[in-house]
Amino acid sequence: MQSTVPPPPKVSYKSLFGLPVIVAALGYFVDIYDLLLFGIVRVPSLKDLGLNDEQISRVGANIINWQMGGLLLGGILWGVLGDKRGRLSVLFGSIVTYSIANIACGFIDKVTFMDPTDYYALMRFIAGIGLAGELGAGITLVSEVLPKQLRAIGTSLVAGVGLFGAVFAYFTVELFNWQNAFFVGGAMGIGLLLLRVGVIESGMFTDVAEQKHVQKGNFMAFFTNRSRFSRYMKCIGIGLPTWFVIGILATFSNEFGNAFGITEPVKPGLTIMWCYVGLAFGDLASGLISQGLQSRKKAVALLMGFTLLVSLIYIFAVPKTVNGLYMYFLAMGFGIGYWAMFVTIGAEQFGTNLRATAATTVPNMVRGIVILMTSLYTYLKPSVDVINAGIVVGILSFAIGFYSILTIPETHGKDLNYLEE
Percent of the chain with pLDDT over 70: 86
Distance CA 199, CA 312 (A): 44
- Give residue-wise pLDDT tens across range 277-323: 898 889 888 888 888 888 889 999 999 999 999 999 999 988 889 99
- Give residue-wise pLDDT tens across range 335-347: 998 887 888 888 8
Lowest mean pLDDT among 111-120, 139-148, 209-218, 342-351: 209-218
Q: Does pLDDT of 54 surpass 90?
A: no
- Give residue-wise pLDDT tens across range 314-323: 999 888 899 9
Contacts of residue 326, defined as CB under 8 A and 6 or more positions apart, other chains included, come to: 270, 271, 274
Mean pLDDT on 235-253 = 91
- Give residue-wise pLDDT tens across range 6-38: 555 565 667 677 777 887 788 888 888 888 788
- Give residue-wise pLDDT tens across range 177-233: 888 999 998 898 888 777 766 555 444 445 555 555 555 557 788 888 898 899 999
Residues in the chain: 421
Q: Considering only residues 130 and 195, tell me which one the structure prediction assigns the higher pLDDT.
A: 130
286 φ, ψ (degrees, to nearest 5) = -60, -35
* Residue among 338, 356, 336 at smallest CA distance from 346: 356
User: The domain 14-197+218-407 belongs to what CATH superfamily?
Assistant: MFS general substrate transporter like domains (1.20.1250.20)
